[in-house]
Amino acid sequence: MDTKTKPHISIVLPVYTGMAYLQQSVESVLNQDDSDFDFEFLICDDCSKDDSYTYLSSITDTRVKLFRNEKNKGLFPTLNFLIKNASADLLHLWAQDDVMLKNCLKETIKFHQEFPEVKFSFSRLQGIDASGNLLKRPDTFKNKTLSVQDHAVSSLLYGSIAGNIANVCLVKEDCKEVGYFDESMIYVGDFKMWCVLSKETPIGMNGNILVNVRQHTGQLSRNLDASFYRLKENYGVYQCFLSTLNPELRKQLNKTIKWKIYTTYVNQYLFILKSKKFDLAKRYVEELKKYDNINSIFFKWIIIRLLRFFRLEQKFYEFRFYKKIRSLKQNN
């Protein structure tokens, strides 16, 4: 790559103690089909406790720019550092466990050329297990965009629509404009970013499978403390998405998530109690009180459990909430 020419796309990879899959992940980026474009690959080691930095230091490919934090800073501060140091207008986020298909970057660039109005896009992803075996294949579809309203409704009812960071591409200038990732967050800073980037413009949905995302027990979010921090951080994200909706639709979605989403936290609370983490359980309940009246949450949870037992849960949601949501969306 000519160092005087801005690359078409920058790949940014935060690394922390990821040597188990890191080499495969890095090589999948370096082996991209890049005959029609230039890219740079920015990697920052966040004070790994294994041989990750030793391996990264051995890479001689000139497309790689390697950094290392002086102290451990966490995912979102490290992502922000890399984004600020990237040269390209497009930024493909990357993860140390995952594998890029050879056409990933080419198809991502083509997508943003086709839909220049979007501030971020995501592609379909294929799950793989710890050994790299393919899991259930997702459906593919024609490239398209999703409106601000539909993105907010989907995110509130079903969670982060991208599902990961490794299949996401951001426009650097837009990322800068909204103030980068929220560094006060540990787990859902990406979910919040998808909200703030989609408050005024649609999001891009690349219907092709471009990434293999690994599912294994060593991932960041799989522990009891993580469940507490996700509860603590998710509330603000829900409010962010609700704020993008018109008053009637916002009111209806607020009612819906009190039944459909907030009650699911009771399951995690009970699991924490079962694990005899009583101090964590106490803090969990205190945080849950910010969502709604605690007695109301538990009452709704009991009703949902009964409905599920009689296989009436989905019919309840459809009759009580979904029909009204569809009607309000159509009338907007």
Closest by CA to 41, choosing from 10, 16, 19, 69, is 10
Helix 247-260, helix 224-243: angle, nearest 10: 160
Mean pLDDT score of the chain, rounded to an integer? 94
- pLDDT value at position 218? 53
**9-214, superfamily in CATH?**
Spore Coat Polysaccharide Biosynthesis Protein SpsA; Chain A (3.90.550.10)
- pLDDT value at position 55? 98
Residue numbers of the chain with a pLDDT score lower than 70: 1-4, 216-222, 332
How far apart (Å, rounded) are the C-alpha atoms in residues 168 and 191? 12
- pLDDT value at position 216? 67
- pLDDT value at position 1? 47
DSSP string for 75-139: HHHHHHHHHHH--SSEEEE--TT-EE-TTHHHHHHHHHHH-TT-SEEEEEEEEE-TT--B-PPPP
- pLDDT value at position 224? 85
Which residues share a beta bridge with 169?
Answer: 92, 121
All structural domains of the chain with their residue ranges: 9-214, 245-331
